[in-house]
Amino acid sequence: MPVSQNSCIFAYIKTVKKMQNFHELLLTRRSIRKYTDEPISGEDVKTILEAGLMAPSSKRKMPWHFIVVEDKAMLAQLSQCRDAGAGPIANAALAIIVTVDMTVSEAWVEDGSIAAVLMQLQAHDLGLGSCWIQLRNRSLGDEATEDLVREMLEIPDNMAILCAVTIGHKDEVRKPFDEEKMLWEKVHIAKW
């Protein structure tokens, strides 16, 4: 079989494997906090970042900037920037620090959050694990986590630092969302 035909088949298999019903994607996405040592391919990193760069934003201001951190020592340092809860950064293949320009959009929290979640969903669709690690309004002792991360990554003062989206090949299995536990009582029809 000619090489070109072969690579067509591989591309097809990859597409079929990746393609899943969107609801299925939402049901099976869980926060993954344990990762193998396997690096993430450049192609996958690009696809994940594209998901962030395509995110809807208020008035199409696109006020976010993403910082991709892959250096192991820096990941370890970032994981220590909070009293607790940032541990998964240390063993991730990479972390995408989501920063948002507060001077560009009054809806900066929303804009940054949507971009972060879309990158998580894209990572999941690629078969990768991810976790949102909160950096905004968190602290290490008396020091604000944002101040520590700002200094470390030389982030300008106008940029809020929302979260780190950790990405890695999964080293844990999580059950899908339990549909029995969907809080339908939180849905109100017409009035509260």
Ligand X SMILES: Cc1cc2nc3c(=O)[nH]c(=O)nc-3n(C[C@H](O)[C@H](O)[C@H](O)COP(=O)(O)O)c2cc1C
Binding site for ligand X (CB under 6 A): 30-31, 33, 85, 88, 131-134
Nearer to ligand X, 88 or 168 (CB): 88
d(CA 157, CA 182): 40
Cβ closest to ligand X, residue 123 vs residue 131: 131
Residue 74 is which amino acid? M
Neighbouring C-beta atoms of residue 75, cutoff 10 Å: 20
Nearest-approach distance from CB 44 to ligand X, in angstroms: 20
User: Which residues are bridge partners to 27 per DSSP?
Assistant: none
Q: How far is the CB of 137 from ligand X (least distance, A)?
A: 10
Whose structure tokens read 């597409």? 15
User: What type of residue sits at position 30?
Assistant: R
Rounded Cα distance, 167 and 129, in Å: 6
Least distance CB 134 / ligand X (angstroms)? 4
Q: How far is the CB of 82 from ligand X (least distance, A)?
A: 7
C-beta contacts of 61-64 below 8 A and 24+ residues apart: 61/104, 61/105, 61/111, 62/111, 63/100, 63/101, 63/102, 63/104, 63/105, 63/108, 63/111, 63/112, 64/98, 64/99, 64/100, 64/101, 64/111, 64/112, 64/115
Backbone angles phi, psi at 98, to 5 degrees: -95, 115
CB of 84 to ligand X, least distance (A): 8
State in angstroms the smallest separation of the CB of 111 from ligand X.
Answer: 14
